[in-house]
A and B are shown apart, each in its own frame.
Chain A
Amino acid sequence: MTGLGWLSIGITLLIVLALARPVGIYLSRVFDSGGKPLPLDRVLGPIDKGLFKLFGIRETNQSWKAYAGSLVLSNVVMIVITYTIFRLQGVLPLNPSGIAGMEPSVAFNTAISFMTNTNLQHYSGETGLSYLSQMIAIIFLMFTAPATGLAIVFAFMRGLAGKPLGNFFVDLVRSITRVLLPIAVVAGIMFVAMGVPQTLSPTETVTTVQGAEQQIARGPVASLLSIKELGNNGGGFFGPNSAHPFENPNALSNTLQMILMMLVTTSLPFAYGKMVGNAKQGRVLFVAMSIMFITMLGLSLTSELAGNPMMHQLGINGPSMEGKEQRLGMVQSSLYSVVTTASETGGVATMHDTLTPLGGLIPMANMMLNTVFGGIGVGFVNVLMYAMIAVFLSGLMVGRTPEFLGRKLESREMKLIAVTLIVHPLLILVPTAIALIAYPETISNPGYHGLSQALYEFTSSAANNGSGFEGLGDNTLFWNIATGFVMFFGRYISMITLLAVAGSMASKRPVPATSGTFRTNTAMFGAIFVGTVLIVGALTFFPVIVLGPVAEHLTLWK
């Protein structure tokens, strides 16, 4: 690997690191102003008030049930609206390229996909969606989906801090107007400056030098791109996603995309520290996640750098470049694949299908764990859940009923967490087994790699990531419906159960800390947290990983 490669990784990660804390502090003020309004509030406050009045929303605190109810109901309504637009896009305006209405199962899949912050795309962006669908349906959901994620993480934090959970609609609106929209506007302009198109003109037909005719798709790309990355959405304007030169023209835009993907999710531990008044615990979790991230990145780079022995035999030495953009190079591509799966964004700058077996395992592992930072909001909620499991399993060893932030973890919380814990492997392993046995013809590769393809698709769906291993014939009724349900349940079951945990924790009387208390803000706890994630979270997938990427790797390098 070149010095330049190291430098590019270093610069990207340093910028992410530098931004994490300030953004976190800002977020904590957005969602818990403590009476001190933000500068933006003066401008936007009256608009909020007007909006709430218009929709008849009262800005009162909700119980966890009301919060979860508002969340799921509003999300389902948005899924229905989006589905309708997709189906009718052929006859609706803003369709200069004359794209037809979407097939029902794809529309079902796509509507859920974007509402759940997954952005699994079983259609190809530029030819499957009209501009109206891109702008109204897609970009609309690209704001509301991450806003839903942000809302829930702050409701969860409030619960842990013993405060009322807040109001879903207020949180949703504030997420969009105080966080996502302002940053997305600035980033969008930056992308335009880097050469990303932003236009409403139709697809251009040009004649090439050789005289052939070529269709060049374009559109309002920059506006979509900024929220795609910032909101950990990942759905591309173009089919090849961020590997397309219009969606990712150069190294600078590539770096900005990665920074945007990590921006909110890395800041949440700091926001958390502030919200619950335990900054050190937030830092411990940040460091623990960072260590997991760096480890993943290291493994990915090592594997990609080692290249492919089959290629070496052909005399093509060096790192694996198969399926990678020459413009971006191996290091940037590899880093992108780790960032996009750690942050559950799902945008891709390289074909994950053609990563080396272990290089492909890393994105999958990120999604299986869903705790290496994780998707906007929900990732950190998942992290906190694992922190609670860690406290519960090992906290007993200090001879006290386990407490998290001074609140006892008892039967009710553990039941809810237990349900949440089961859902993830259930949604990944069972559908993958069904797909392999019942629909082997949709899988383009035989053997280990085919297994990885199917596994990747459902892992990506369950973790609401949205990236694909590709190569899968996934635009079929089975895949559309199956992944649709997996995305839906993967998103909402855990949201509901964990909101219930938050509600339950909020109602508990805090226990004062003494020297006998299990402290969750120490390096020791960080280690226990990582251990719990690896043993409880990762071991579940060990057998299937062995049969997929590991077997492929060992066979390749025999």
Chain B
Amino acid sequence: MKTAQSTNSSVPFDTESGRSHIKAQKGMFQAELVKKASIDALRKFNPKQMVKNPMMFIVEIGFVITLFLTFVPDAFGSPVARWYNGSVSFILFITVWFANFAEALAEGRGKAQADSLKQTKKDMWANKVTESGTVRVSSATLRKGDLIIVREGETIAGDGEVIQGLASVDESAITGESAPVLKEAGGDFCSVTAGTRVVSDWIRVRITSDPGESFLDRMIALVEGAERQKTPNELALHTVLISLTLIFLIVVVTLPFFGQYLNIQLNVAELIALLVCLIPTTIGGLLSAIGIAGMDRVTRFNVIATSGKAVEACGDIHTIILDKTGTITYGNRLASDMYAVGGGSKEELGRWAAVSSHLDETPEGRSVVEWVNKQGWSYDTQLSEQGEIIPFKAETRMSGIDLTDGRKVRKGAVDSVKRWVKEQGGSIPVDLDAQTEAIAAAGGTPLAVAVDHHIYGVIYLKDTVKPGMRERFEQLRQMGIRTVMCTGDNPLTAATIAREAGVDDFIAESKPEDKLALIRQEQAAGKLVAMTGDGTNDAPALAQADVGIAMNSGTTAAKEAANMVDLDSDPTKVIEVVAIGKQLLMTRGALTTFSIANDVAKYFAIIPALFMLAIPQLSALNIMALNSPMSAILSALVFNAIIIPLLIPLAVKGVAYKPMSSEKLLGRNMLIYGLGGLIAPFIGIKVIDMVLGIWM
């Protein structure tokens, strides 16, 4: 189901994790969605709904007035041809419809996802544990604190915590990930989600949410946009746009009086046209679509955000706190070199290391074999296959193999191996300690290899940084975002990994409360912090962080404290989510700038047109050389209308974004949307005028 990326190139980083779980997307303008949105757009003409968007509401009023004038042309004196009023009315209708369509389309994409989730929710039954045994009840009757038993093949009817048992659970309905995950009582893997299915064994679950409040319910509400409220930034922008609308309303309402003083009669249709062209209808029509689509992009990325505010906050993040293990590094220590001691050869050491690891299925063991093979050294696989495997034990801290000829091969922690060798009566090579320390100093873990009483050398195990992380941190740095790595390792190891991964800072030997302290410290300096976490002890930090992303595999406490949940449980996603937040804000800014810059050209189309007949000299202002006043006004209106659908793809997908410094970003966007917004309408209006000229 890894399809989202191909059609929705909105996620700015190159990443392999662009999973979409709910439905394969066949592109934004899927026929079904478009059809539904077209009809919904008509429904949105309801004035009660329109009044929430004052800019489009004014256009709708203009539509009604000009429609009226089409039938009663002399209602306000100064009659104008019916066809002209009719044309203006029609274009205004289309303008509103386009804006409604944009919103409906953005909403529709969420609704389609919600529908498939609702399918999951239907008809869930549960075996409720009561004093008189288990009873089969509907999921709707489950309350917080109830106990249920879920057996193989059954669907878990409510969010809860496993209190007994162990089962593998298929969470694909929520996460899209088909491989089942293990759930067991206690620890960080005890939380289960309604709608997921037990595929083996059984569990006893304590329900943690009342009906209507479950994760599934919240997710449906969120993707449906039912709970959508304007985000703070959207609200502020809305205020400014309304004030511009009011200013232009003043301009247009006073204009006929100025005209009257000069004995120029202005007709209502033209004044409405002027007003509609001047008020920021482009951004006004697309504003809510941008917001909905931003949320949707996050959802599509398999992250559920509890509010649009959280997504917006992503754009403002200064610091990202990342766990080392699993996020920055693979978390496994892999062989990266070997050092022979006591004058032995490296190849011999390698051979024995490989023999001891040949049947060792741990990542460390496999990496040793791989490393030796890479060197081109051969070893006797027969030796290991016939020998007796000694598995790793916490007490001995060694593993190895007892060969058929009586020789014993061991590899393990240096101290343990030393003790073992001494017990065998062997001696310790003088340079062993020096090598061991050198490896530790470089941040690695040394593993000693010995055969009976002879120590051959040490294996250098290294925690490996995931490929591409360094580049990502570099990009983040360009965006002005600092990365801090948290690890339980000692400072030396931590410093090495930090240097290698290219993070800006690290906390070694960190405890969960260190994260909280770091977040508070950063916030005290005015910074916004993002982090990921999964354990219950991460919950306070997740709640404190401005953007807290909990792993779906994590505990209920963590998920409740966070403002986003990553269904794929991929901790590196925080980086992409930040980029999506930035992209959302940028899209809003770009379209605002574009919309306002458009006004210049529209003025030059309409103002000369309004007065050219009365004051012929004003034709000098008709710099676009438009055909006739009527054609000029209609062209400006048509441009104003069709720019909305032309920009829908941009509003829904977001503007193209590559991480770079703010200066470059601003310069680039200013050129495209500022200067472009200034020039594009001059060309667009001229072209439309030429086309209209064929008929007029």
Contact residues of A with B, CB < 8 Å? Answer: 389, 392-401, 406, 409-411, 413-415, 417-419, 421-422, 425-426, 429-430, 432-434, 436-437, 440, 447-448, 450-451, 509-512, 514-519, 522, 524, 528, 531, 535-536, 539-540, 542-544, 546-547, 550-551, 554-555, 558
Contact = CB atoms under 8 A, between A and B. Distances in A.
A415 B260 CA distance: 34
A540 B254 CA distance: 12
B586 A399 contact: yes
Contacts of A509: 526
9 contacts: A394-B670, A397-B670, A401-B316, A414-B239, A511-B316, A512-B525, A531-B674, A536-B244, A539-B599
A512 B582 CA distance: 17
A426 B526 contact: no
Interface stretch (B119-127, B139-147, B474-482, B683-691): B474-482
B261 interface: yes
B232 A546 contact: no
Interface in B237-295: 237, 239-240, 242-244, 246-248, 250-251, 254-255, 257-262, 274, 278
Contacts of A415: 236, 239
A459 B232 CA distance: 35
Interface stretch (B36-44, B190-198, B613-621): B613-621
A542 B607 contact: yes
B316 A394 contact: no
B665 A546 contact: no
Contact of B315 (A399, A411, A414, A417): A399
B318 A514 contact: yes
Q: Main secondary structure on chain A at its contact with chain B?
A: helix
Contacts of A411: 232, 235-236, 239
Interface residues of B, number: 73
Given A426-B250, A451-B261, A418 B665 contact: no
B257 to A, nearest CB: 4
Nearest to A545: B607
Given A401-B312, A539-B603, A547 B663 contact: no
Given A396-B592, A406-B526, A512-B318, 10 more contacts: A398-B589, A401-B585, A413-B236, A421-B243, A515-B477, A515-B479, A524-B663, A539-B600, A550-B621, A555-B615
B590 A397 contact: yes
A430 B674 CA distance: 31
Interface in B524-548: 525-528
B232 A540 contact: no
Which of B233, B242, B477, B478 is most buried by chain A, counting CB atoms within 10 A of its CB? B233
Q: Is the interface of B mostly helix, strand, loop or mixed?
A: helix
B236 A409 contact: yes
Most buried by B among A434, A440, A514: A514
A535 B588 contact: no
B667 interface: yes
Given A400-B316, A511-B527, A546 B618 contact: yes
Contact of A418 (B240, B255, B615): B240
A399 B655 CA distance: 10
Given A393-B589, A399-B582, A414-B240, A524 B247 contact: no
B257 A437 contact: yes
Interface of B: 232-233, 235-237, 239-240, 242-244, 246-248, 250-251, 254-255, 257-262, 274, 278, 312, 315-316, 318, 477-482, 525-528, 581-583, 585-586, 588-590, 592-593, 596-597, 599-600, 603, 607, 610-611, 615, 617-618, 620-621, 657, 661-663, 665-667, 669-670, 673-674
Contacts of A399: 315, 479, 581-583, 585-586, 657, 665
Most chain A C-beta atoms within 10 Å of own C-beta, residue among B254, B588, B597: B254
Given A397-B666, A400-B316, A516-B662, A425 B251 contact: yes
Q: Which of A392, A393, A426 has the most CB of B within 10 A?
A: A393
B261 to A, nearest CB: 4
A429 B593 contact: no
Contacts of A514: 318, 480-482
Nearest to B662: A398
Which of A409, A451, A542: most chain B CB closer than 10 A?
A542
A535 B599 contact: yes
B235 A535 contact: no
A519 B661 CA distance: 11
A547 B621 CA distance: 12
Contacts of B244: 421, 536
Contact of B250 (A394, A425, A539, A550): A425
Contact of A535 (B239, B582, B597, B621): B597
A440 B673 CA distance: 45
A202 B239 CA distance: 58
A409 to B, nearest CB: 7
A433 B254 contact: yes
Contacts of B255: 543-544
B674 A394 contact: yes
A549 to B, nearest CB: 12
A436 B582 contact: no
Contacts of A542: 603, 607
Nearest to B590: A397
Nearest to B667: A524
A546 B607 contact: yes
A542 B666 CA distance: 28
